Amino acid sequence: MLYISKEDEIPLDKKFHRIHNLCAIIYDQLTEIFSGDDYSELNSTKFNLDHDKHKDIEKFNKGEIHALEWLKINNLNKEISQVLVKHVTMSVLSDFVNFIYESLSCAMRGKMTIAYALLRKPFTDELLIFEQILDNQDDFVNRFFHDGDPLTYDPSDRKIDKRKIIENALKKSKPNIVFTSDLIYDLRYEKSLGKGINGMSNHALHIVTRDKNYKTTKQNLNFVFSTKEDIKSYWENYYFFVPYLLIYSVSVVDNILSQFLTEKKNKHLLNTKVMIRFISILLWSEFQGEKETKNKKIFQVLTQNLNLICDKCNSNVELERADFELFVETSTFLCPKCFNSLINSSSAIQELNRFVELLKS
């Protein structure tokens, strides 16, 4: 629904089709968490009952007491943290992806007022919830559950040190590739950055704005009298920071949820997603005007160091840049001789694991 094919005729300038499709691919990394079998462990939490030690087991079995309250009565704080981190993350993520979907959908149709307005909640509020959980999940659970007062976990609270939370989350969301905590903060919260989310979403939500950083110009109304050139500049700005923040968001969410995925194959799944995000940020940088010569060297390093062998025809596969671009779209490498998918081959599993470990170092 979000991916643009060559045959599609839509208002979005063709210049932005490729970067938009990159956003659609990264968006899918979030939605697959809800539908993929590899993530089924996130839908439940198992723990052992001790009839000699635990209180009110009969009430619990009969459903006369809420599971979280029963865990609290028995001081099972570790289990409470596991249940709540999964539940809060998955619930907030469900809302997050809905807003992002509608924003991207509006952007491709040229409805930029709505596209910008819809970014505010997911990137300023909900992403900060994820970052706080990744930074210190026990502290978040204490504020959210044991205290329970919304004032203690309200992401819009000015007392929250957002810069520090972002900085800490970024350190823990390895591999964080080329992200910087200052840019992540500025794009979301810095008022002086008029074309960041703060300024643009205020323009989108209010017909007139008085803040000096994004003040409505004379004889104008925000977004109302936009020309074709204005729309193009909105797209330029939108497709600068949305892919960047979206790739970062997936990294944060993956690092929260990966602790609950125990299967060995899940490690390979997460490593595959890391590789996709790594290639995506290279493609994003080129769209922003980064010289291709720098990325060319990176792709050369990748082709020289990723040694893949086809399990079907036993061929040594020499990758090219086009293979990595196809990998971003399909999540696999193909053998050029027999067209066998290589992503689950023993060599791919080993090489991707080695690559991700290198990124983490």
Q: How confident is the model at residue 305 (pLDDT cuts 50, 70, 90)?
A: confident
Q: How many CA atoms lie within 13 A of 122 on its CB side?
A: 27
Record the tokens describing residue 353, joined without a space: 């694991």
Rounded Cα distance, 127 and 159, in Å: 17
User: Does the model's pTM come out above 0.85?
Assistant: yes
Q: What is the pLDDT of residues 260-282, one digit of tens each?
A: 998 777 889 999 999 999 999 99
At residue 270's C-alpha, the angle toward residues 89 and 35, to 5°, is 55
- 293 pLDDT higher than 80: no
Over residues 308-314, the mean pLDDT reads 92
Rounded Cα distance, 102 and 190, in Å: 24
Over residues 2-24, the mean pLDDT reads 94
Over residues 80-84, the mean pLDDT reads 94
Record the tokens describing residue 121, joined without a space: 């909640």
Look up tokens 């979907």; give the residue.
Answer: 101
Asked which of 64-68, 90-94, 236-240 is least confident by mean pLDDT, the reply is 64-68
Q: What's the confidence (pLDDT) of residue 60?
A: 83
Crossing angle between the packed helical segments 181-189 and 197-205, to the nearest 10 degrees: 20
Q: Which residue has the higher pLDDT, 251 or 59?
A: 251
β-pairing, 316-317 vs 308-309, is: antiparallel
Asked if 125 contacts 154 with a C-beta cutoff of 8 angstroms, the reply is: no
Q: What's the confidence (pLDDT) of residue 229?
A: 92
Q: How confident is the model at residue 51 (pLDDT cuts 50, 70, 90)?
A: confident
Over residues 301-305, the mean pLDDT reads 85
Rounded Cα distance, 204 and 185, in Å: 20
- Eight-class DSSP state of 146: I
49: how many CB neighbours lie within 10 A of its CB?
11
Over residues 331-346, the mean pLDDT reads 93
Rounded Cα distance, 22 and 79, in Å: 37
Asked if 119 contacts 240 with a C-beta cutoff of 8 angstroms, the reply is: no
Q: What's the confidence (pLDDT) of residue 358?
A: 85
Q: How confident is the model at residue 292 (pLDDT cuts 50, 70, 90)?
A: low
Record the tokens describing residue 292, joined without a space: 């291709």
Q: What's the confidence (pLDDT) of residue 332?
A: 94
- 26 pLDDT higher than 70: yes
| Residue in 42, 143, 46 with CA at minimum distance from that of residue 93 | 42
Over residues 15-31, the mean pLDDT reads 96
Look up tokens 């590899």; give the residue.
Answer: 38
Record the tokens describing residue 75, joined without a space: 């001081």
Rounded Cα distance, 98 and 118, in Å: 10
Q: Which residue has the higher pLDDT, 64 or 132?
A: 132
Give the start-end residues of each E strand in the chain.
308-309, 316-317
Cα dist from 135 to 27, 170, 200, whole Å: 23, 9, 28
Q: How many CA atoms lie within 13 A of 19 on its CB side?
A: 26
- 127 pLDDT higher than 90: yes
Rounded Cα distance, 188 and 160, in Å: 14
Q: What's the confidence (pLDDT) of residue 342?
A: 94
Q: How confident is the model at residue 53 (pLDDT cuts 50, 70, 90)?
A: confident
Three-state DSSP at 89 gives: helix
- 255 pLDDT higher than 70: yes
Rounded Cα distance, 61 and 291, in Å: 63
- 125 pLDDT higher than 90: yes
Rounded Cα distance, 15 and 8, in Å: 14
- 130 pLDDT higher than 70: yes
